[in-house]
Amino acid sequence: MDGARWRVGRRRRGRARVVRRARSRRDETAPLRPVAQRLRRGDRRIARELGVRARCGGKRGEIQLLGGHVTDLGALRIETERLILRLPRIDDFERYAELFGHEVSRGIGGPHARGDAWRRFLQMPGAWMVQGFGMFSVIEKSSGLWVGQAGPWMPNGWPGTEVGYAFHPDAHGKGYCTEACVAAIDWAFDTLGWTDVIHCISPENVASQNVAKRLGSYNRGPGTLPPPLNAHAIDLWGQTREEWRARRGAFA
């Protein structure tokens, strides 16, 4: 069974595949133990805030998302035609630091010195471990390179359930951001059970606004981020699950 993969649910035409690789029980449970143990202690308030709950009677280390799907985060992997979306790894950092050290990152809070980029990088693995979701690392299939990140993002005090995105300069102009975000939005709606997605975008970040438009999102007006980010002006772009599903066929 080593290396075997199986599909989660039915695959619809034009949709990314969500696959997992067979692993030993010990390997499966290890990545999720902290959040699963915390939720089993019965803190339902925290569970609601995190958007996850423990699976009653399930295997140790598994969590059940509010959408009803049991997920082994250590093996989670989404494939599109040209990309792989998976959890962040330590070897993603070099390319991540290049992105957030580049002038192109000015519209997403950069540029950052390497040390600051490292602390920012650690937010995503932390979100996955504590909340059960976060932005995926996006890998180009043809080269194996980390090309960016995209996925669900909802820190405490955030103005909504966001699907965010940020891509390396050498990945721009290839349609990768849209391709990855389509898969990430599908996952947020279908697996997390979200009913709405937003994108927090600077009024000056035209490139990110164009991605949001291609995804079918629209500008809902100014929003406010929690401190210490509240000094940054943002607009809230977004759409409901029903709006997304009504136009989803355009990405088939």
Domains of the chain, by residue range, sit at 5-71, 83-251
The topology (CATH level 3) of 83-251 is Aminopeptidase (3.40.630)
Per-residue pLDDT at 51 exceeds 70: no
Q: For residues 74 and 238, which has the higher predicted lDDT (pLDDT)?
A: 238
Q: Quick one: which of 241, 224, 242 has its CA closest to 232?
A: 224
Instruction: Indicate the average pLDDT of the chain.
Output: 79
Whole-model pTM: value is 0.75
Q: Pairing state of beta strands 70-71 and 83-86?
A: unpaired
| Distance between CA atoms of residues 203 and 235, nearest Å | 6
Q: What is the pLDDT of residues 123-150, one digit of tens each?
A: 999 999 999 999 999 999 999 999 999 9
Q: Give the pLDDT confidence score for residue 117 in this predicted structure.
A: 83
Q: Give the pLDDT confidence score for residue 19 in this predicted structure.
A: 59
Query: Strand locations in the chain, DSSP E?
Result: 5-7, 17-21, 52-54, 63-65, 70-71, 77-79, 83-86, 136-140, 146-153, 162-167, 196-201, 218-223, 234-240
Which token pair is 53? 């709950």
Which token pair is 92? 């993603």
Which token pair is 216? 């079918």
Q: Give the pLDDT confidence score for residue 14 in this predicted structure.
A: 61
CB 235 within 8 A of CB 223: yes
Out of 45-49, 122-126, 236-240, least confident range: 45-49
